[in-house]
Structure 1
Amino acid sequence: MQKLAILIYSVLAFLLISFTSFAQTTQTFSADDYTYRTALELFDREKYATAQKAFQDYIDLNKGDLLTVEAKYYVAICALYLENDDAEPTIERFIAEYPNHPKAAMAYYEMGNYYFNQKNTEKAIAYFEKVDISSLSKEQQVEAKFKLAYLYFSKQDFLKAGNLFDELKRSNNKYTYAASYYAGYCNYRKGSYTEALTDLKRAAQSPEYAPMVPYMIVNVYYKQGKYDELIEYAQTLGTSKDIRNADEVFLLVGESYYRKGDYANAARYLKESVGKTKSRPAPEIAYRLGYAQYKTGDFKSAAENFKITATTAKDTLAQYASYHMGLSYLQSGNKPFALTAFDQARRGKASKQVAEDAAYYHAKVSFETNAGPETTALLKDFLKNYPTSSYKNEINELLSESYLASNNYNEAIAHIEAIPNRTPKIDEAYQRVTFNKGAEFFNKDQYNEALTQFQKSLSRPKVTEVAIAAHFWSGETQSAVQNYPSAINEYAAVFREPESKNTEYYNRSRYGIGYAYYNNKEYDKAATHFREYTTAVGPNGKNYADALVRLADCQYVAKNFDAAIQLYDQALALPGSEKDYILFQKANALNFAGRDEEARRTFDELSNKYSSSRYADNAMYQRADVDFEKGNYNAAITGFTRVIESNAASGVVPYALQKRALAYSNLQQYDKAIADYQRILDKYPTSKVSNSALLGLQETLASAKRSDEFGTYLEKYRRANPQDNSTESIEFDAAKSLYLNEKYPQAISAMEAYIRNHPDSEQKYDARYYIADSYYKFGDRANAVKNFQLVISEGRSQYLVRSVSRMGDLELNAKNYSSAAGYYRRLLTASQSKKDQTAALSGLMESYYQLPNYDSARYYISQVVATGGSSPSAVNKALLYKGKSYYLQNNYEKAVDELLSAANAAQDEYGAEAQYLVADALYKQKKYKESLEMCFAVNDKFGSFEKWRGKAFLLVADNYVALDETFQAKATLQSIIENSGDKEVVAEAKNKLKALESK
């Protein structure tokens, strides 16, 4: 009992003591620890400055209990959140002082969080690594691990990051899906693609990460080369708009299709990807998109994407892109753009095979577009650079054909003639190129050289059409050098070819052979061919009117005057420029047919309607002669007087004087007759009627009982017409021989000596002409002008008309265009031949064009074109000038029409300039695409004319700039710089290229 009491007492005492102790503690906390509780509440409310002070107040109580330790912890943490300078040292001191305290681990944790939030990766990692994870709550452990893993991830330390993410992804926590996503990425970076897929698919279960996962999953599949799985997975995504990096997803889908060779789908998805980025794609992507489009036939789009790569990538990719860009342009029919692309690719150094392929296409396309003389050089260079190429045989074939297409005829002919064993294709090329060279010589009036080339062409008659053309132009050339029998043989050779009836040359040869017979005075044969020609071509046919007139002339010569008159009347009813000649011939035919009154009316019609015609004086003369022959001497005298007084310089005047003298004699008006005869012997002692005038004078003086006066005129006649063995004649002929042998200084001295020795000789006037022309021919313009003007002012030389022509030429060359026009007008009036007439018209055209007086120029241009005697070269120049006159007046629409006519009609330099000006006129009208076509036509048709070809390609570059095709413009200018032989063109190309590159 006593022991139990003692036990109970002891328990009660213990309980009492314990209760008393508890009561005392509660009373102390309530009183002393109020500050701590207040500080903790302030801390929780993020009032860190106030909280720090309250915690410090608690520490200052010096209680040394557990709350004091925790207060120190919170003071340090408040300093951290307040960003005090002493925060980190304060925390470090706390940890050093209480290393085993639970708050020490929390201090590291808080420091890690703080620097994590501050994005101070290094410090955050350092503190998180010091945290004793086991001392943290589970929630804090997850937080610390995730943040530390993320920090490792941000430093691309995927091994450490992956290990922590792997831990987190295996448990159910707030970071499970995030950890799965990042673990997937880490495994992807480490090449653990299977694990990565598992992680990413788990992350996809989270709404937060579901939009981000597809991009990573398709990347994994792509890295694995599992293109089918990638495509299948992408199809499950549908058209969701929430997918992040959708452009990249589409890109990899497109890339997968590309790797599988499914270019249609590749193009679709790659295009979709590029469209979503709304910016220029990377060179590699643009290349693959372009290639996919190329493979599926979308060549225009392909070319654009290849262009992006070619202009932004370098080396290998740029070379491949340029090559495939060329193929794309080629497939879409844009050969000019293809050329520049292949040109870029063949210059690349990264791939020899691509360079070879590109060089092949560049040469081939150049040939196909007739890209001018460099085509031959390109083909030859290819064989030189790639002698064992698989393209060798084809290039050799193209090379032989390129001579046919090339306008560099001299090089082509020399090359082919050097080939010992020619193939049929080469022979065909030779036939064509020698024909073209002959045509070029013909257009330059170099007839002997033209004949040589035409005969070469005919030596290899592989193509009948070309042989027919060569025979025709040989005929034209022989006619031009007045070798009419040979011309007839050449025209006849055309008729012997059965196929000629289907060509233009059949009727043209009929017309040509008619003229050859006509000029050879075989009028009956000429008539046959002119008749067949007019029947074949009809009234609307070319040269119909002219052929009709020649047919009439043949009837006239055959004295079939009624038939001739009928034909002349038909010709008068047609438009044309020979109405004066036709009237003259008709009047003569009427006269010979005895239809006198009609003849008089027709002669009057000619002289009145065409008073400036070269036939006007002769018409008046013939009109008077009709009266004379009928014995109407008074009327005849009136008519002859009209001739004499209307144009004293006319060559008809001596004849009119002689006939008037006869009329006076028949009327027994001897004094007047004697005066006319004397006038002939005084002014025209060397004319063809001077002998008749002398005889007439003798008879008339006798009739007038004045025979004693005859001796004076007989002596004058003898001096003017010396016998061949006289000293004067020998001296003149010797001087003339020096002139004819082109010994002009000696000829001048000899002729001047002749004039001094024989001042009264009528031949001194011709001697003056020879002096003038000798100065002209060795280039002494001043003395030539001085002496020609003397010849013209004296008006006594038989070379008066030629002197007027020479003065026109001299003034034109000196750019005295108004003066030149005056001489050419005089030449036109005085001309007695077709040659002089066409020379005058050409001179007037040139003078008025250069003044400039374009209205007058165009009038004479039409005359040059319409006149049958104008050479092809003169006609081509006239057509060019007509177009240029409108061009220079800024009337570009009219200019284009006229210049196109010139370019289509000519194959010479005038045609080349016309074609270029068409292109330039279109450019000035901002018709850039049409201008490009005309530029390439210069290249195609007139490639041998380096100047105009070069200018055309400069204009090509300008058009490309205007069309915003800078790549093509630069490539074109670079090609000009490297290939053109024209220094001025190259200099301009360099300036243009420099300007483009500076933009």
Structure 2
Amino acid sequence: MKFFYKISGKIIYFSLLILISPALSQSISEKFTLALEEYYQARYADAYILFNDVANDYGIDDELYASSKYYAADALLKLGQKELAAAELEYIVNHIIWSNFREEAFYHLGLIYYEFEKYSIARARFESLLDEYSGRKYSGSAMYWIGESYAAENKLDDAIEFLHKAIKDKQSNSYRDYTIYTLATVYEKKGDYENAVKYYDQLLSYYRNSSLLISAQIRIGVCYFYLKDYQSSILELNNPLLDDLPDNFYSESLYLLANSYYRVQEYIEAEKVYSELLEKFPDTDYIHDAKYGLAWSLFQQNKYNDAFRVFNHLSAGSDSIAVESYYWKAEAKRYSGKNKEAIKIYRELLSEHSSSFIVPRVEYQLGLLYFNSKDFNSSKRFLLTAASSKEADVRARAYTLLGELELDNKKYVSAKNYFEQALNFAAEDSDVQLRSMLGLGAALYYLGRNDDAMEYLNKILAASPDFERDRVNYYLAENYFDRQKYYQALERFKGINTQEEDIKRLTLYGTAYCYFNLGDYENAAFRFAEYVKIYPYDERVTDAKLRLADSYFGSKNYTASYTVYKDLFISQKLSLDDPYTYYQYAQALYKSGKTESAIKEFSNLQKKFPNSSYADVSLYTIGWIHFQRGDFETAIDKYRRVIDVYSKTTLAPVIYYSIGDAYFNMGNYDSAIINYRKVLTNYPSSDYVFDAVNGIQYSYVAKGNPEKAIALIDGFVNENPSLKFSDQIYLKKAEIYYSNREYELAKDSYIDFIEKFSNSKFIPEAYYWLGKSADNLEQYEDAIFYFNVAFQKYPKSEIAASSVLEMGSIYNSLENYGAAISIYNQALEKIKGSPGIPEILYMKGLTYINADSLQQAYEVFSDVSYYYRETIFADKSKFESGLIDLAAGRYENSDNNFLELAEKRNDELGAKGQYHYGLSLYEQGKYTEAISALVRVRTVFSMYDEWLTKSYMALGDCYVKLDDNRKAKEMYRIVISKHKNDSYGKEARKKVRELK
């Protein structure tokens, strides 16, 4: 801190002459007066002699004596004789303790010792001043100088303590701006740039005339720079006031300003400021760094030739910047596409700086350049050398590139090893770590280690979701596909949006296969067709065409399927020597409506491949074609031929079942029952047993003998109690009673089922239908009991939500709304995540309406429409909310809800929304707009008679309000013509009469 003195002359001391004793000799008086005159005329040497004479001659210890001693010391001080002055002042503070000048003496002693850098002595004098003259005129300034002394000794915490005290003591601190500035610099030294900025900013804000203003402006810019708040640094360092700075400060401010621009990637501005600095201050200490910064600014603007020139200039040396510049001038060539020149410069760098720290990086770059130019041998040689570097980052990069080289050569084990080495040296969350994990994931995928591959790929997604997103998604998709998780694979394929041709091609192929394996044949067909169109000469195109034909078949586009198969046969890409393809071809013929051709090809297939797995299926399919035509007798003959030709066919159960279906459709129920029974008797473990039981049931019911179906079920289950579907067959018995509305017998049968098959997966369903049976018998307590068992004991079953809804419906019918709300709330907690939750919430809202609790209802409907917006109950809730808003006169809300439903839906809910939108406009007195809204019910929702009728009535009411009675009658008469004898017609006739 610069040292400051303040003149402390006191005109008031002329009045001391008045106090001189009359006995005082005239010569003492004259000397003192003369001394003061010399002092105030700045003739300090003469003044000192006179003051000293007065003090020596006077000999009386009073204020005149003290004044002479003080002014003599002050004269010495002004003459620059600070050591002598200090001796005089020390005499005052130690021997004239009663003097008013003692406070002044302590203060000036502190200043002198500070200037002599005797900081501890200076502090002692300032502290004595504070102890003995606390709260006086020098207190604040003394604390400031104590803070300065601590700062000078780098005792920063002590400095901060006293500087803060000095700031608080505003009245007696003559250095308020300096105090704030010093405090800021101390915080800056501590690296506490936030507090430094705070106090520099105080100085800039409250002391605009301070001589420290420009210095503070620079320092706050510096602090912002170290806080990495480069925009603020730019704002402060770009101040025009800084143009008047001394050269050393100005050049520093320009250097930091240029660096700040660079850090915020404003490279054009950085270039300008670096250039200004180099032009104005060619001898600045920052010259080397500024040129390096300029080169980088040019490089970042893709001005590679200009950057090369600067780097080239800087590279003529041996310091670190020279070596770095040598490296980056080669990079400038590489980035400008001049790889051969880059290689040449790198090789020169290796030759000239063979022992430099930069050698491993150069070897890596040479490896990369040779890799890109497909000189893999040279690439590998340099990369292996780079991989032995002491720099972890270079080793990681070299191993990663070696891994990619091996991956391209399909040497997956070697690639895996290199990528694992790269991970050992890569920095956490670095680009090279992510790249090596991607390579490792790919290598592991090709090695068939799907779980390990996915672990690394998912780590990439967690660390950096946007890193190589397309490749990460591709390998994740392939891994999921290998594990037959086609939904997940498809989602990953969908996340790929690349222009890289190989990835695009494989993604399209993989996406098509995902859809195919998921049974989404329409999407599969679309993708396979696209693949065939875009890549007609690809090695996979024949497979893609075959899957395209299969996809067309699966999506029931049989003509297209047949056409693709036919083209494959004609092009000889496929032959009819493959029974599967032949079978698919015949199936496509049949499905495309070419039934005669299909029958012929199925017959030919059986003859050509009589021992294939498709032979008996082909004969069966011929029977099935006749069945579909309604030619049941021929179908029966063809079915029986399968048994005749292939007596041990595994199709026997379905054949007998199909014969039974044919007889059933002919109305020959006895023959149908005989063949259905063959399935039960001969093939009791067949998957067709359940269908056969259904067939027998329907046959007996058609004959009017449902009791025989029940007897059959009892007999079959008794004989085969342990079959996997015996419980399901036995449950049919109760279903028969229920469908015949014999609810008591149904109840008994469901209870019997629960006792007989207590471990069956159909137990929850049995309790539910027990509840339904009791409900139909108006046995509401029993019904609630059974529904509650289904809900409470089997909350994870699909029937749980349905049971809750049934209980809620019963409670509502009994007007026990509290119980209904209670059971809904239990369900919301117990079966979270169930697909039935939106409906349960909706019913809870309706229950609140029934209980006249409209506010609670409104809140529930709001939740449903917000959290379950993709379900129909969200739209139903919006409608109910609209009704509540309409009743409350909140027309803007109701209109929004009704209009959204009307525009979004084309079903009855949309019709209700459209009608009520018109009704709302009518209530608001907007009759013309209401007419437009109500007319839309007729044009868009005319199939919904209730709302069409109500809209005609409302249209009539609108025309009445507009005094157009003719049109009003026309609307009412339309209602009368369609509803002559119901309530609508009566109301319409009444309105017409009222208009006459």
Structure of higher RCO (CA pairs closer than 8 Å, 6+ residues apart): 1
Tell me which interval the TM-score lies in, with the shorter structure as reference length: 0.3 to 0.5
TM-score, structure 2 normalization: 0.33
